[in-house]
Amino acid sequence: MDMVDLPRAALIDALGRRISYLRISVTDRCDLRCRYCMADRMTFLPRDQVLTLEEIALLADLFIARGVRKIRLTGGEPLVRRDIIDLVRRIGRHVGHGLDELTLTTNGTRLAEHANALFDAGIRRINVSLDSLDPDGFAYVTRRGNIQPVMDGLAAARAAGLSVKINMVALKGVNDDEILPMLRWCSNQGFDLSLIETMPLGETGEDRTDHYLPLTAVVDQLRQHVELSSIAYRTGGPSRYFAVEGMGVRLGLITPLTNNFCSDCNRMRMTCEGKIFMCLGHDDHVDLKSAFREGGLAAVQPLIDRALRLKPERHDFRIGADAPSATVQRHMSVTGG
pLDDT tens column, 260-299: 555 677 889 999 999 998 876 667 889 999 999 999 999 9
Annotated binding-site residue? 186:
no
Please enumerate in sequence order all residues whose Cβ is within 8 A of that of 305, keeping only pairs 6 or more positions apart, or say none: 9
**Is residue 168 predicted with pLDDT exceeding 90?**
yes
Residues in the chain: 337
Q: Is the pLDDT of residue 257 over 90?
A: no
262 marked ligand binding residue: yes
User: CB atoms < 10 A from the CB of 100, how many?
Assistant: 14
Residue 265 assigned to a binding site: yes
* Cα torsion 237, 242, 243, 246: sign: negative
Please say whether the beta carbons of 15 and 266 come within 8 A. Answer: no
> CB-hemisphere CA count at 13 Å for 331?
25
Question: Residue 105 annotated as binding?
Answer: yes
- 129 assigned to a ligand binding site: yes
Confidence of residue 310 (pLDDT cuts 50, 70, 90): confident
239 is in an annotated binding site: no
- Name the residue ranges covered by the structural domains of the chain: 3-335
To the question of whether residue 199 is assigned a binding role by annotation, the answer is yes
Lowest mean pLDDT among 78-92, 117-131, 226-240, 319-333: 319-333
Residue whose C-alpha is closest to residue 81's, from 110, 123, 115: 110
Q: Is the CB of residue 253 less than 8 Å from the CB of residue 239?
A: yes
pLDDT at 187: 97
30 is in an annotated binding site: yes
Omega into 236 within 30° of 0, i.e. cis?
no
* Residue 113, Cβ density class (10 Å: 0-12 exposed, 13-18 middle, ≥19 buried): middle
Is the pTM higher than 0.85?
yes
37-51, 165-179, 191-205: the lowest-pLDDT one: 191-205
CATH number (3.40.50.920, 3.40.50.720, 3.30.70.270, 3.20.20.70) of 3-335 reads 3.20.20.70
269 is an annotated ligand-binding site residue:
yes
Q: Tell me the range of 176-190, 231-245, 307-321 where mean pLDDT is highest.
A: 176-190
